[in-house]
A and B are shown apart, each in its own frame.
Chain A
Amino acid sequence: RKEVEQDPGPFNVPEGATVAFNCTYSNSASQSFFWYRQDCRKEPKLLMSVYSSGNEDGRFTAQLNRASQYISLLIRDSKLSDSATYLCVVTAHEKLTFGTGTRLTIIP
């Protein structure tokens, strides 16, 4: 079993729709959680950290369920510029473990 699992997609979603990604992790000692975004042939960039209380940044909402070892990302009112691969990242003892990534394409 992979340490961090994501649905690889692809998700093809019309502009303006809401889309949700899920991620599960296996290491119960995991301490920090993130969503990174990676554009085609570019480096990953931090989208947002994920906190137990849930957090929101504009159109993006992240949730963490430590009991179920589950992380989610919700994108509302999706834009063409949201097309990218979204990577779920979990850290334990300062080691970052990435999921495979979920590929999202927003369709005009």
Chain B
Amino acid sequence: ETGVTQSPTHLIKTRGQQVTLRCSSQSGHNTVSWYQQALGQGPQFIFQYYREEENGRGNFPPRFSGLQFPNYSSELNVNALELDDSALYLCASRPIGEGTEAFFGQGTRLTVV
């Protein structure tokens, strides 16, 4: 158990809808990052939050947005869902600093129909 928990574990949404995914970081970890993993691919970096501010973003459109709360938990919001958004969404937490180990949650499997 990594101490990083994500909810929900599975979700089915209709194209065009909006979704919110949640992540509770491991105690003492102030940095949370989100990844999208399509089937057969490695995780793709969406964005990272440090002390409630976004401090890095991958090549994802603005309809992917997020928040980090004072307790370091985080949300990923996706608007106007598309079929290609179907994937495993992973949250990882770690202490700030280059080279620190990232601990992943079990992921949320999103299916867009």
Contact = CB atoms under 8 A, between A and B. Distances in A.
B25 interface: no
Interface string B67-105: 000000000000000000000001010001111011111
Contact of B48 (A43, A45, A95, A100): A95
Contact of A42 (B33, B42, B101, B106): B106
A87 interface: yes
Contact of A44 (B31, B96, B99, B104): B104
B42 A43 contact: no
Given A43-B90, A43-B106, A43-B107, A94 B98 contact: yes
Chain A interface extent, by class: 20 to 34
B42 A91 contact: no
B91 to A, nearest CB: 9
A55 interface: no
Chain A binding site: helix, strand, loop or mixed by DSSP? Answer: strand
Most buried by B among A31, A96, A97: A96
A41 to B, nearest CB: 8
Contacts of B55: 94
Nearest to B90: A43
B98 A43 contact: no
Interface string B43-85: 1110010000001101000000000000000000000000000
Nearest to A32: B99
Interface in A86-108: 87, 91, 93-101
A43 B56 contact: no
A94 B66 CA distance: 18
9 contacts: A31-B99, A46-B101, A93-B98, A94-B48, A94-B97, A95-B33, A95-B48, A95-B58, A98-B42
